[in-house]
Amino acid sequence: MQKKVIFFLALIFIAVAVLSQSVFTVDQTQKAIVLQLGKPVSPHALGPGLHFKLPVVQNVVYVDARILDYDAKPEEITTQDKKYMDIDSYSKWRIVNPLQFYRTVRNIPAAQARLDDIIRSQLRVALGRYTLIEVVSQKRPEIMDNVTKRSREVLAPYGIEVVDVRIKRTDLPAENQRAIYGRMKAERERQAKQYRSEGQEAADKIKAKADKERTILLAEANRSAEVIRGEGDALATKTYAEALGKSPEFYEFQRSLKAYRQSLKEGSRFILTPDTPYLKFFR
């Protein structure tokens, strides 16, 4: 009886082991290829769900069904106008034919190596047809669309679909950066010198115009002052003449009083005779 129990338990253990080796699940993000002695047993990959295989003689290879990213290393590329650029690109791709993918590249690292070779070559060819300005600002979307299309066509036999190829960053090599910086600096200095000379020229013109206007204003003011002064002197002379004509004796008396005030001061000494005309108004 005990032997039967042991035998029954052994059968159960063997059945569980065989079942565990025969049943496998495929995740929603994956596809599976069943291999028998290294060769696919089905012309199509298995989708998500529960599946069965023969134990020991068959094994399962899982393939990622999601869109994958590949970030390429920066590479120096020459444009049509013989300018050097460091291009940092990335691509999005996915496995659309797992069986073909397995037959040609086997795994993702090998696929990335193929992606790197093909996309780099397509970028070099595409960017070599355009100038630096076109690559940087004017025709980048068109260039990227062409690179994506050509890369997709070349990688289709590998069961790979290239979804998109984009340039993440464009830089100039260090030598070119220094040369361009030097040219930019020289150009800015030339412009600054030109602006300063133009400003100085404008300042000199404004100053000369202001000096001219100042000279004209001063001349006009002096002329007007001379005219007014002459008119005042003429009016004063006329007024004195009219006053003198009305009363010469009073005018003579006023002039004598003024002379007395200016000459007969304290401490002054004069020797005069009584009949001198200077003292006629004291008599």
Which of 10, 39, 64 is the C-terminal boundary of a domain? 64
Do residues 42 and 56 both lie within one domain? Answer: yes
Do residues 168 and 236 both lie within one domain? Answer: no
Q: How many domains does the chain have?
A: 3
Residue 159 placed within a domain? yes
The amino acid sitting at 149 is K
Kindly report the three-state secondary structure assignment for every residue of the chain.
CHHHHHHHHHHHHHHHHHHHHHEEEECCCEEEEEEECCEECCCCCECCEEEECCCCCEEEEEEECCCEEEECCCEEEECCCCCEEEEEEEEEEEECCHHHHHHHCCCHHHHHHHHHHHHHHHHHHHHCCCCHHHHHHHCHHHHHHHHHHHHHHHHHHHCEEEEEEEEEEEECCHHHHHHHHHHHHHHHHHHHHHHHHHHHHHHHHHHHHHHHHHHHHHHHHHHHHHHHHHHHHHHHHHHHHHHHHHCHHHHHHHHHHHHHHHHCCCCCCCCCCCCCHHHHHHC
The amino acid sitting at 132 is L
Do residues 26 and 43 both lie within one domain? Answer: yes
pLDDT category of residue 3 using cuts at 50, 70 and 90: low
Question: Residue 99 half-sphere exposure, CB side, CA atoms within 13 Å?
Answer: 11
Cα separation, 103 vs 114, whole angstroms: 14
Do residues 76 and 126 both lie within one domain? Answer: yes
Residue 184 placed within a domain? no
Percent of the chain with pLDDT over 90: 18
Do residues 168 and 72 both lie within one domain? Answer: yes
The answer, yes or no, to whether residue 155 has pLDDT greater than 80, is yes
Encoded tokens for 186: 């020289």
- pLDDT value, residue 18: 60
Cα separation, 123 vs 79, whole angstroms: 11
Do residues 76 and 160 both lie within one domain? Answer: yes
Do residues 50 and 76 both lie within one domain? Answer: no
Residue 214 placed within a domain? no
Do residues 166 and 75 both lie within one domain? Answer: yes
Do residues 36 and 99 both lie within one domain? Answer: no
Residue 111 placed within a domain? yes
pTM over 0.85: no
Residue 100 placed within a domain? yes
pLDDT category of residue 20 using cuts at 50, 70 and 90: low
- For 45, the domain range is 20-64
Question: Residue 92 half-sphere exposure, CB side, CA atoms within 13 Å?
Answer: 8
The amino acid sitting at 62 is Y
Do residues 246 and 263 both lie within one domain? Answer: yes
Do residues 126 and 163 both lie within one domain? Answer: yes
The lowest-confidence range among 39-48, 123-132, 158-167, 266-275 is: 266-275
Mean per-residue pLDDT over the chain, rounded = 82
266 or 190, which is more confident: 190
What CATH number is given to the structural domain containing 160?
Answer: 3.30.479.30
pLDDT category of residue 44 using cuts at 50, 70 and 90: confident
Do residues 44 and 84 both lie within one domain? Answer: no
- Is the CB of residue 87 less than 8 Å from the CB of residue 147? no
Residue 46 placed within a domain? yes
Residue 31 placed within a domain? yes
Question: What's the pLDDT tens digit per position in 231-255?
Answer: 888 888 888 777 777 777 777 777 7
Q: CA Rg, the chain, in Å?
A: 56
Question: What's the pLDDT tens digit per position in 158-180?
Answer: 999 999 998 888 776 666 656 66
Whole-angstrom CA distances from 43 to 20, 46, 47, 97, 151 are 24, 10, 13, 10, 26
- Sign of the Cα torsion 247, 253, 257, 258 reads positive
Cα separation, 63 vs 26, whole angstroms: 10
Encoded tokens for 193: 């010198």
Residue 283 placed within a domain? yes
